[in-house]
Each structure stands twice: as C-alpha cells, then as structure tokens.
C-alpha cells in the first residue's frame, strides 16, 4: 500500500510538473497576452487580413481564402524576421528581443506551420495564387540574408535590409503585390487600372508605415550600420518626408475618383486612413513613446476598414 501511494504521489508530481511546463509557455496575465500578441507579430496578421478585405471591397472581388493566406504568411515572415534579428534587436527593442529568445523554439514551429498552411490554402486558388503566396518568403530571403556582394574587403556581403531606401522599397513592393494580387488570383480576375491604383496606394502606405518604426530604432540602426530615412535625414526631416508621401497618396486617391477608377464611398475610407496617418506622422519626434506611435500608425488600416464598412453599408 505504501508503494502504491508513493507511486501515485510520483505520478501526481510528474503530472503537476508537466502542467507547469506546458502552461509556462502561455501568457498568465493580460499583460503577457498583449506582449505575445505584439512581439510574435500575430497582431500584424490580423491587420493584414483586414487589408485583404479592403482590397477585395475596392476591386469588387468575391470572398475567398486570400485573407487567411495573407494573415498566415505575414505571421510566418515577420516571426522569422524577428528570430533572425534577435541579436541586433537587443538595443533597439529589448522587450521584443527577450520575448523572441525566450520562446524561440515555439516561434520557429508556429512560423513553419503558418507558412505551410498558407501554401496549402493558396493551392486552392491555382498556380498564380501559389506563386503570390510564396512571393513574400522569397523577398524576405533576399531582404534579410547576406547574399549581395558589398564594397570593401573581398567576400564581404550585405543584406538588402542594410541598403538605404532599397530596404523599405522591397518591403513595400512585396506586401503591396501580395495584398493586391492574391485576391485577384483567387477570383481569377484580370489586372486593371483600378488594380494598379490600389497597388500604388498600398505601396505608398506600406512605405510610410515601414519608416515610422525606424524612428524609434534610429540609435540601434545607426549602431549596426543599417541606413534608413531617419538615420540618413534625421527625425525632423523624416516627419516632413513621410507627411509628403501621405499627401501624394491623397492626391492619387482624388485623381482616381475624378477618373472614376474609385467610387466616392471607397475614396472616403482611403482618405480617412490618410488623414489618420497624417495625424500620426505629425507626432514623429514630438512624443517620447516612439514605440507606441509605431503601433498606432499600423492601425491605419483598421480605420480604413471601419470607415469602408460603414460607407458600403450606407451606400
């Protein structure tokens, strides 16, 4: 009987240890849950799914798995990017770097599963949808890995991520193409002038929203030799440059409406997002919490999503 009790006690202790090990991997408080959502890039996936819905609405495309595919791809790509840059992020984003190091193995597995599911779902849209789903991964490899011959000593290489302006252009091009082309591929729709307008809109928006976080990382980027607009031109000039891009985007939307490539209701939603972005960019260099400002900037698409939903339902 004593041995049986001891055995049961050992089993109970082992089960308790397993439970504590398992649940230790999950957030135990709202604050930790928020950190997991932000540091793992899961929140970017939700925003990306809203962007695909926006594209589908603007181009009058039917519902499709495109939003889910893009959400999974965004999670996979940005999680892998954070894993690759965990050492350099220690200076510019220590909280994120600590989270990524702590959950490195889990994030690797989740990112792999997410990309695998995205590829599997994209097959439902045909070969073009599959190619578009693979596009961000290809761009990320070119963006984040050392493969370009650099100046200086023989054999030295650098990443596109370290090349001034090219780094932001690659990110904007990859996501604008994916957001625009994947819904088209699932719907079997052709590329039209409104498609090019929507692509240009998202290219400019992603360009701006990529450079805003670089403001908070300016010291870290300068220390590791990454050249961004804030590093090269300074914070004040960055504010003016990004505000000018916002105004150019607004001009594009107004021109598209005048040429009847966008409806007034659709344009209203896009202009609401641009107005939101202008209010955010006007705060660059004027607030202490640049990290929060970067997160607020990424919510621009949620503003567009809400206004677009209201405009379509009322029209």
How is residue 269 written in tokens? 């939603």
> What is the mean pLDDT of the segment spanning 8-29?
48
What is the pLDDT at residue 197?
A: 96
Residue 58: pLDDT over 90: yes
Q: How far is CA 106 from the centre of its chain?
A: 20
pLDDT, tens only, 88-98: 777 767 778 88
Average pLDDT over residues 35-54: 87
Residue 291 confidence class, pLDDT cut points 50, 70, 90: confident
Could you tell me whether strands 148-149 and 157-158 are parallel, antiparallel, or unpaired per DSSP bridges?
antiparallel
Distance of CA 210 to the CA centre of its chain: 9
Q: What percent of the chain has pLDDT over 70?
A: 82
C-alpha span between 215 and 232 (Å, rounded): 11
pLDDT at 152 over 50: no
- What is the model's pLDDT at position 115? 92
Length in residues, the chain: 315
- Weakest mean pLDDT among 109-118, 208-217, 248-257, 274-283: 208-217
What number is the average pLDDT over the span 68-93?
A: 83
Mean pLDDT of the 227-246 span: 90
Q: What is the pLDDT of residues 293-302, one digit of tens each?
A: 888 898 999 9
Q: What is the mean pLDDT of residues 49-61?
A: 95
What's the whole-number average pLDDT of the chain? 82
Residue 31, pLDDT score: 63
Burial 227-253 (b: 16+ CB within 10 A, else e): bbbbbeeebeebbebbbebbeebbebb
User: Which of 66-80, 98-112, 213-227 has the highest average model confidence (pLDDT)?
Assistant: 66-80
Half-sphere exposure of 141 (CA within 13 A, CB side): 4
Asked if residue 222 has pLDDT above 90, the reply is no
Residue of 18 and 115 predicted with greater confidence: 115
Per-residue confidence at 183, pLDDT binned at 50, 70, 90?
A: very high
Closest CA to 165 of 222, 232, 217, 216: 232
Q: How confident is the model at residue 154 (pLDDT cuts 50, 70, 90)?
A: very low
Q: DSSP per residue over 90-136, as a string?
A: HHH-HHHHHHHHHTHHHHHHHHHHHHHHHHHHHGGG-HHHHHHHHHH
**Rounded Cα–Cα distance for residues 180 and 55 (Å):** 6
**pLDDT at residue 149 is higher than 60:** no
So what's the pLDDT on residue 33? 75
pLDDT on residue 304? 95
Q: Which of 95, 88, 86, 83 is nearest to 34 (CA)?
A: 95
Query: Which pLDDT belongs to residue 144?
Result: 59
With 60 as the cut, is the pLDDT of residue 150 above it?
no
């Amino acid at each position: 009987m004593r041995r049986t009790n001891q055995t049961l006690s050992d089993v109970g202790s082992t089960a308790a240890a397993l439970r504590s090990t398992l649940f230790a991997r999950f957030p135990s408080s709202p604050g930790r849950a928020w950190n997991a959502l932000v540091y793992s890039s899961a929140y970017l996936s939700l925003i990306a799914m809203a962007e695909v819905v926006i594209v589908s609405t603007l181009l009058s495309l039917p519902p499709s798995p495109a939003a889910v595919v893009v959400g999974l791809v965004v999670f996979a790509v940005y999680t892998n990017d954070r894993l690759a840059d965990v050492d350099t992020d220690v200076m510019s984003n220590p909280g994120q770097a600590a989270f990524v190091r702590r959950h490195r193995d889990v994030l690797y597995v989740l990112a792999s599963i997410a990309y695998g599911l995205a590829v599997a779902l994209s097959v439902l849209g045909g070969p073009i949808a599959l190619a578009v789903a693979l596009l961000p991964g290809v761009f990320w490899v070119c963006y984040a890995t050392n493969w370009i011959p650099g100046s200086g000593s023989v054999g030295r290489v650098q990443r596109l991520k370290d090349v001034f302006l090219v780094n932001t252009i690659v990110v904007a091009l990859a996501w604008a193409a994916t957001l625009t082309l994947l819904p088209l591929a699932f719907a079997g729709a052709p590329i039209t002038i409104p498609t090019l307008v929507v692509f240009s809109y998202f290219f400019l928006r992603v360009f701006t929203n990529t450079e805003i976080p670089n403001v908070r990382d300016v010291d870290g980027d300068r220390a590791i030799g990454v050249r961004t607009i804030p590093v090269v031109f300074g914070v004040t000039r960055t504010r003016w440059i990004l505000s000018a891009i916002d105004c150019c985007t607004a001009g594009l939307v107004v021109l598209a409406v005048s040429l009847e490539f966008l409806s007034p209701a659709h344009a209203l939603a896009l202009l609401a997002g641009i107005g939101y972005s202008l209010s955010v960019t006007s705060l660059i260099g004027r607030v202490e919490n640049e990290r929060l400002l970067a997160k607020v900037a990424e919510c621009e698409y949620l503003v567009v999503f809400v206004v677009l939903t209201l405009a379509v339902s009322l029209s």
